[in-house]
Amino acid sequence: MVLQTHISLSHLLLIASLLSAAVSAATTISPGSSLSAANPTITWSSPNDTFSLGFIPSDPPTSPPSYIAATSYSGGVPVWSAGAGKAVDSGGTLQFLPSGTLRLVNGSGATLWDSNTTSRGVSSAEIDDLGNLVLRNGTVTVWSSFDNPTDSIVPGQNFTVSKVLRSGLYSFKLVKNGNLTLLWNDSTVYWNQGLNSSVNTNLSSPTLGLRSIGILSISDPQLSTDAIVAYSSDYAEAGDILRFLKLGSDGNLRIYSSSRGSGTVTERWAAVTDQCEVYGYCGDMGVCSYNDTDPVCGCMSLNFELVDPKDSRKGCKRKMEIKDCPQSVIMLDLEHTRFLSYPPETDSPIFFFSAGILTCRLNCLGSSACDALTSLSDGTGLCYTKTPGFLSGYHSPAMSSSSYIKVCGPVIPNPSSSLGTAGNKKNWKLRRWIVVVVVFATVFGLMAFEGGLWWWFCRNSRSFGGLSAQYALLEYASGAPVQFSYTELQRSMKGFKEKLGAGGFGAVYKGILANRTVVAVKQLEGIEQGEKQFRMEVATISSTHHLNLVRLIGFCSEGRHRLLVYEFMKNGSLDSFLFATEEQSGKLLNWESRFHVALGTARGITYLHEECRDCIVHCDIKPENILLDENYNAKVSDFGLAKLVNPKDHRYRTLTSVRGTRGYLAPEWLANLPITSKSDVYSYGMVLLEIVSGRRNFEVSEATNRKKFSLWAFEEFEKGNIKGIVDRRLVDQDVDMDQVKRAIQVTFWCIQEQPSHRPMMGKVVQMLEGITDIENPPDPRAVIEGSAGGTSMTVSSNVNPLSTAAESAPAPSSFSSFQSSGVSPLTSGRNTEKATASLIQSDPN
Ligand X SMILES: *[C@@H]1O[C@H](CO)[C@@H](O)[C@H](O)[C@H]1NC(C)=O
Binding site for ligand X (CB under 6 A): 48, 50, 86, 88-89, 106-108, 110, 112, 114-116, 120-121, 129, 132, 137-138, 140, 146, 156, 158, 177, 179, 185, 187, 192-194, 196, 198, 200-202, 291-294, 296, 390
For residue 717, the minimal CB distance to ligand X (Å) is 28
Q: What is the dihedral of CA 503, 747, 613, 547, to 10 degrees?
A: -70
Cβ neighbours of residue 845 under 8 Å, at least 6 residues apart? 336, 397, 398, 418
Nearer to ligand X, 390 or 579 (CB): 390
Q: Where are the alpha helices (DSSP H) in 334-484?
A: 357-365, 426-458, 464-478
Distance CA 296, CA 275 (A): 10
Nearer to ligand X, 147 or 488 (CB): 147
User: Is residue 52 a contact partner of residue 127, using CB atoms and an 8 Å limit?
Assistant: yes
Nearer to ligand X, 106 or 676 (CB): 106
DSSP 609: I
Please tell me the chain's helix, strand, coil percentages from 3-state DSSP, rounded to the nearest 5. 30, 25, 45
For residue 517, the minimal CB distance to ligand X (Å) is 34
- Residue 321, beta-bridge partner list: none
* CA-closest candidate to residue 807, choices 829, 826, 789: 829
Nearer to ligand X, 28 or 116 (CB): 116
For residue 107, the minimal CB distance to ligand X (Å) is 4
For residue 779, the minimal CB distance to ligand X (Å) is 23
Cβ neighbours of residue 373 under 8 Å, at least 6 residues apart? 360, 361, 364, 383, 384, 385, 386, 403, 404
Is 620 assigned a catalytic role? yes
Q: Which residue is nearest to ligand X (CB)?
A: 121
For residue 787, the minimal CB distance to ligand X (Å) is 15
Q: Within a 10 A sphere around the Cβ of 410, how many other Cβ atoms?
A: 11
Burial tier of 629 (Cβ tally within 10 Å: 0-12, 13-18, 19+) = middle
Could you give the angle at the alpha carbon of 230 between the alpha carbons of 225 and 233, nearest 5°?
125
Nearer to ligand X, 31 or 381 (CB): 31
Distance from the Cα of residue 412 to its chain's centroid: 36
For residue 657, the minimal CB distance to ligand X (Å) is 12
Kind of pairing between the strands at 552-558 and 482-483: parallel
User: Is residue 208 a contact partner of residue 202, using CB atoms and an 8 Å limit?
Assistant: no
- Is the peptide bond preceding residue 343 cis, with omega within 30 degrees of 0? yes
For residue 65, the minimal CB distance to ligand X (Å) is 12
Q: At what angle do helices 677-693 and 591-606 cross, to 10 degrees?
A: 180
The SS3 assignment for 286 reads strand
Query: What are the backbone angles phi and psi of residue 784, rounded to the nearest 5°?
Result: -115, 125
Distance CA 743, CA 734 (A): 16
Nearer to ligand X, 129 or 715 (CB): 129
Distance CA 113, CA 497 (A): 63
Cα atoms in the 13 Å half-sphere on the side-chain side of 481: 26
Candidate list 234, 274, 620, 680, residue with the active-site label: 620
For residue 133, the minimal CB distance to ligand X (Å) is 11
* CA-closest candidate to residue 33, choices 95, 87, 110: 95
Annotation-wise, does 723 bind a ligand? no
Q: Residue 512: in which H helix or E strand, if any?
A: strand 506-512
Radius of gyration over every alpha carbon of the chain, rounded to an integer in angstroms: 30
For the annotated catalytic residues, the residue numbers are 620
Q: Binding site residues for ATP, as ranges?
A: 522
Q: Binding site residues, as ranges?
A: 522
